[in-house]
Each structure stands twice: as C-alpha cells, then as structure tokens.
Amino acid sequence: MPFGPVGGRAPGRSVGGPEVIDVVAIAVEELRKHYGPVRALDGLSFSVAAGEVFALLGPNGAGKTTAVEILEGHRRRTSGHVRVLGYDPATGGREYRERIGIVLQEAGFDEAFTVRELVRFYRGGYPRRLVVDDVIDLVGLGGKRDARVQTLSGGQRRRLDLALGLVGDPELLFLDEPTTGFDPSARRRAWDLVETLRDLGKTVLLTTHYMDEAEHLADRVGVVVAGRLIACGAPDGIGGQARASSEVAFRLPDGVAVAGLPDLGGPLVAQGAGWQVRTREPTAALHRLTGWALERRIVLADLRVTRPSLEDVYLELIGAEGTPDEAPVVGTGVS
C-alpha cells in the first residue's frame, strides 16, 4: 500500500532517536460512492495516524458523512480501498465495531431511560469498558445521572451521545459535528474532552463546520469538496495550498494623506483609526509600504501582518472549487 508516514502528534514518535514510522489508523484510497447518478465520493484519499485528531471539513453535501459512514462500516462503498485499525470496515464485523466509538449527530434514544441506565446499557455491548459514572462525569453530565433522557436539553443530549461513544473505551472515535447546538461553555468542555482523548492516545476523526473547532482540536484537517480531498495539512499550514490573503494593517500619522501611498497589492480599507489591505503578497506589500514610510521619515503606528485564519483559507479553497452543496452527477446510474 502506498501509505507513507503521516503527520500529527502520534504517540510514541521519537525525535532524534531511531526513525519511527507512524502507525496508520485510517487509510482511504480512491474511495468512491455513487448513489445512482450522484457521485457522493469521487476518488477520496487520505490517511490518519494512530493518536491523531483529524478533522474532515467541507461544504454541505461534500461527502463527509458518506465517507465517515463507510469508515464506520455502516455504508458500502462503490469502489476503493479502506483500512481502519487494520480492518476493512465492510467485513470487520463485531470485532471491528468493538474497537471503535461512534458519536452520531442525532442518535435516537429510548426517552424513558435515565442517563445512567442508558450508558450502562450501551456499556454491556463492549468487552472493554469504562466505569459508567466516570464516563458520565467525563462528559459533564454528573448532575443529570438520574434524569430521564426526555428531560435533557439538546446540548445535554449531545453530551450523552459522547458518553455512549466513549463507554466502550474505543481506540478510534468518530465524532460527527460533536458540538453543534452546544452553548459556548459546553463547547469548551467538549474540546477539553477531545484533548483528554488525544492525551490518552485515542485516534479521533471528526467532522465539523466550525473552523475554530478544527483549528483548536485537529492535528490535521482535510478539506473535501465534491467527494474529493482538495487540501490536507496542519490547520495553520494549509494556507500555502490556498494562497489565501494576509492582512497588512497600520495607522498613518495625522496630516499624512492615504492617497499618497504606493500600490500595496489590494484596495485600502479604513479600519478604526487606521488602514488595512488584504494581499496574497504580504512581503512585497510590506516592502513597498515601509520603503515609502522610511523615505518620508513617517512612523507607521500599529504596523502588523496577520496571516489568514483557517476560515479564510477554507473559504478560499472551497470558493476556488465552486459548486458547494452539489455532488457531481455521472451520466449512468452506477450504485
């Protein structure tokens, strides 16, 4: 298989010692899924190292859920190669499912169960298990142990989803939009929890529409558009693949007119008491700006360059690819 070492903060990787090849937890190559004429996945390839937190990003309809469901073993692929923890999810059966945890966007629960009863019930399905009350505490539902599911708020239900995904002590956790509907503090707690899981050496594959979440949690992100991976790398490193614009900002002294400035590679926009320009060539813009200022002995207050955020990069990437929310359609009905 052509999967080499992959990035991320995998445990057990030594720096300066003997070379350690990361263990690949997830390997996906040329994955295709056709629903009739719709190509939901159209040659998707990526790999995730053991111990890595990997985020799949992409617009609605890009194919993320389809990919994750194939990896979970819940959906059949049309073609391509998939290996997760050494198993083919399509044939791994119970043995495979016991080693993974799945947190769905909307799991259906029996509303009459209490939190503790439900977690205990799910725990019964796994050979490796965590202590019921520990898991409930871990997801911050300690105060709701004996509450019936029907009385939980939307955010509390999502935390219960998390508890059910964790109770089998999985090596790999699939998190589908884990914090949708969470209030800001519940979101922070969920992030802390994912970080705890990483510290425990778990591999996490998450999908999210929140760029700050991916930036905060993921070792690497993969951007999927129309069923293909169009960019992949560390959240602060994929900018180079998008050539998203940096922002150069500064203030001019009183009496200096903005009209006299050289071309900085983009339109100047007033920002509070100062000015900013967005440019893909921040080095050149800075050179022209500071050269101009030095020649005139002008001091530029608050001069700063801000690199593009993951959101800027993401929007640039999916904008360049176009047609979000639409999978490509083929002429023939292959499924």
Q: Please, which residues have CB within 8 angstroms of residue 325's CB and are 6 or more apart in sequence?
A: 59, 60, 61
Q: By rule CB under 6 A, what string of x and - marks binding of each residue 25-54 to ligand ATP?
A: ----------x--x-x--------------
Which residues lie closer than 8 Å to 326 by C-beta, 6 or more apart? 61, 226
CB of 146 to ligand ATP, least distance (A): 34
CA separation, residue 269 to residues 240, 257, 324, 328 (Å): 24, 14, 29, 38
Query: Nearer Cβ to ligand ATP, position 61 or 101?
Result: 61
Cβ nearer to ligand ATP, comparing 62 with 204: 62
Rounded to an integer, what distance in angstroms lies between the CA atom of residue 324 and that of residue 62? 7
Give 229's strand partners: 224
Residue 130 or 230 with smaller CB distance to ligand ATP: 230
Q: How many helices (H) and strands (E) does the chain have?
A: 10, 13
- Kindly state whether residue 64 participates in binding ligand ATP, applying the rule CB under 6 A: yes
Among 62, 70, 100, 162, interactor with ligand ATP by CB under 6 A: 62
Report the residue from 61, 165, 168, 282 that binds ligand ATP according to the rule CB under 6 A.
61
Choose between 176 and 219: whose C-beta lies nearer to ligand ATP.
Answer: 176
Give the C-alpha separation, 188 to 181, whole Å: 13
Report, in Å, the least distance between residue 112 CB and ligand ATP. 30
Per-residue contact string for residues 172-211; x = within reach of ligand ATP by CB under 6 A: ----------------------------------------
How many residues of this chain bind ligand ATP (CB under 6 A)?
12
* Cβ(46)–Cβ(229) below 8 Å: yes
Give the shortest CB-42-to-ligand ATP separation in angstroms: 10
Give the residue with the Cβ less far from ligand ATP, 62 or 238: 62
Given 47, 65, 246, 276, the residue binding ligand ATP (CB under 6 A): 65
User: Exposure pattern of 145-181 as b/e (b: 16+ CB <10 Å)?
Assistant: eeeebeebeebbbbbbbbbbbbbbbbbbbbbbbbbbe
Token pair of 134 as six digits: 């520990």
- Residue in 51, 58, 101, 165 binding ligand ATP, rule: CB under 6 A: 58
Binding of ligand ATP by 165 (CB under 6 A): no
104 lies in the binding site for ligand ATP (CB under 6 A): no
Query: Looking at beta carbons only, is 59 or 308 nearer to ligand ATP?
Result: 59
Region of 25 please: left (phi>0), alpha (psi -120 to 50) or beta. alpha
CA–CA separation, 323 vs 321, rounded Å? Answer: 7
Phi, psi of 148 (to 5 degrees): -75, 150
Which residue number, 141 or 327, has a Cβ lying nearer to ligand ATP? 327
List CB contacts of 71: < 8 A, sequence separation 6 or more: 26, 28, 82, 84, 89, 174, 205
Q: How far apart are CA 202 and CA 170, in angstroms?
A: 8
Pick the closer one to ligand ATP by CB: 61 or 170.
61
Q: Which is nearer to ligand ATP, 65 or 279 (CB)?
A: 65
Contact status: 60 vs ligand ATP (CB under 6 A): yes
Q: Provide the CA 100 distance to its chain's centre, in angstroms.
A: 18
In angstroms, rounded to a whole number, what is the distance separating the alpha carbons of residues 81 and 62? 19
Applying CB under 6 A, does 327 fall inside the site for ligand ATP? yes
Under the criterion CB under 6 A, does residue 63 sit at the interface with ligand ATP? yes
Rounded to a whole number of angstroms, the minimum distance from the CB of residue 204 to ligand ATP is: 17
Rounded least distance, CB 235 to ligand ATP, Å? 18
| Contacts with ligand ATP, residue ranges (CB under 6 A) | 35, 38, 40, 58, 60-66, 327
